[in-house]
Amino acid sequence: MYTQYFGLKEKPFSIAPNPEYVYMSSHHQEALAHLMYGIQEDGCLALLTGEVGTGKTTICRCMLEKTPEHIDMAVVFNPKISSLDLLRTICEELKIDIPQDSGENKIYIDNLNKYLLEAHAKGRTTVLIIDEAQGLTPTVLEQLRLLTNLETNTHKLLKIILLGQPELSVMLQNDDLKQVNQRITSRYHLSPLNYEDTINYLLHRMHVAGGGQSRYFSDKALKILYKKSGGVPRLINLICDRALLGAYAESRSFVDHITMKQAVKEVFSPANVSQKEIKHTRKLVFLLLITALLTATAVYYVQFRQRETTRVTITPLVEKETSLPLQLIAKKQTTAETDAKPQSEVQ
């Protein structure tokens, strides 16, 4: 919509993984170097972590493009599967023929081992890439560790790369996964862009989209963008796309700080909050409600005990007797006097 207005050939901030728009900051270049080292050297596991939207998948695609011809890749995008499904997916990715009625891990592992030995004999290397690996269960991670045992006397037959969010590193610290963690020979945590890289990221994408050297964002707008996005490329794309649309709607030649603030507000509105953030908010509200309920119950109990203590009083016996009707009291006194006289007087 706004592309023609700003003289662009296409939208510069699409979140689609277009290789032409890839901007490799120094952090991204380091991350890529770690992955390339992991697949070319004699390592077992390579680990790349980073927050959502920092560019892990983009780096993975760059690696696939730079991969030498003698390397075969198997990519798993859905990690929430069982060990058997994982083995089945790997065999499908590598085009290994397995009987359809096979329902045992051993059949898949035996055929995979045979394939890897043949590939190694031909001078080929096999690499398994698992995206969103924080979704793997401990059982599946243990199965991956067992796959790293497929080896010759001098070489590992299968290289594995795990891409995931920071919680993956935390999960690997558990005692149950100690052996998996010890197999990781290369690891890197991808940080968000700094302010300078954020500016260069914008200029690069605008230039690729046909914007040339034109200035489309004011200095104040750029500072707001960096502060609110935190240097996360995916958020930068979302905010800048809304900002350019807003500038177009207001017939502005560039994005000022007011338009940028409005774009940030729209991106972070409740309608655009992620499901993960919604779940976190719901948990927080639930805990607050439980806390309020427990507090109210405690206060009510204390007040109830105080009322019960006030009600309990000791009433003297005399007061109880004086509360009887006067006739009954007089009768009791007469009877008592009679009982007190000597027997002779009574007669």
Residue 46, beta-bridge partner list: 161, 186
Name which of 127, 132, 158, 116 is nearest 35 in CA terms. Answer: 127
Cβ atoms 238, 11 nearer than 8 A: no
**What mean pLDDT do residues 140-150 have?**
91
Interhelix angle 219-229/257-267, rounded to 10 degrees, is 20
**Most confidently predicted of 34-48, 129-143, 282-296, 325-339:** 129-143
pLDDT of amino acid 283: 61
Q: Could you read off the pLDDT of 61-92 as tens digits, one per residue?
A: 888 888 888 999 999 988 888 999 999 999 99
pLDDT of amino acid 65: 86
Give me the CATH code for the 26-190 domain, please: 3.40.50.300
Cβ atoms 129, 76 nearer than 8 A: yes
For residue 320, pLDDT beyond 80: no
Hey, is 119 helix, strand or coil?
A: helix
Residue 151, beta-bridge partner list: 156
**Confidence grade of residue 155 (pLDDT, cut at 50, 70, 90):** confident
For residue 318, pLDDT beyond 80: no
**What mean pLDDT do residues 321-326 have?**
47
Query: DSSP string spanning 124-169?
Result: -EEEEEESSGGG--HHHHHHHHHHTT-B-SS-BSEEEEEEE-THHH
Single-letter amino acid, residue 136: L
pLDDT of amino acid 211: 87
10-14, 76-80, 250-254, 291-295: segment of lowest average pLDDT: 291-295
Q: How many CA atoms lie within 13 A of 92 on its CB side?
A: 9
Contacts of 208 (CB under 8 A, 6+ apart): 12, 20, 21
**What mean pLDDT do residues 116-145 have?**
93
Q: Report how far residue 265's alpha carbon sits from residue 316's, in angstroms, rounded to the nearest whole number.
A: 74
Q: Report how far residue 76's alpha carbon sits from residue 339's, in angstroms, rounded to the nearest whole number.
A: 107
pLDDT of amino acid 329: 47
Say if residue 35 is exposed, middle or buried (CB neighbours under 10 Å; 0-12, 13-18, 19+): buried
Q: Report how far residue 10's alpha carbon sits from residue 22's, in angstroms, rounded to the nearest whole number.
A: 15
Buried b (16+ CB within 10 A) or exposed e, 130-169: bbbbbbbeeebbebbbebbebbeeeebbbbbbbbbbeebb
Single-letter amino acid, residue 166: P
Residue 125, beta-bridge partner list: 71
5-14, 59-68, 176-185, 233-242: segment of lowest average pLDDT: 59-68
**Confidence grade of residue 193 (pLDDT, cut at 50, 70, 90):** very high
pLDDT of amino acid 338: 53
Q: Where are the alpha helices (DSSP H) in the chain?
A: 26-40, 56-66, 83-93, 105-121, 138-147, 167-171, 178-182, 195-208, 219-229, 233-249, 257-267, 275-311, 317-322, 326-340, 343-346
For residue 215, pLDDT beyond 90: no
When computed from its CA atoms, the radius of gyration of the chain, rounded to whole angstroms, is 38
**What mean pLDDT do residues 323-331 have?**
49
CA distances from 31 to 17, 24, 151, 188, 326 (A): 17, 10, 26, 6, 102
Task: Tell me which of 11 and 281 has the higher pLDDT.
Answer: 11
Q: Could you read off the pLDDT of 1-44 as tens digits, one per residue?
A: 799 899 999 999 988 878 788 899 999 999 999 888 888 777 78
Q: Report how far residue 236's alpha carbon sits from residue 53's, in angstroms, rounded to the nearest whole number.
A: 9
Say if domain 195-272 classifies as CATH 1.10.8.60.
yes
Say if residue 342 is exposed, middle or buried (CB neighbours under 10 Å; 0-12, 13-18, 19+): exposed
Q: What is the pTM of this model?
A: 0.72
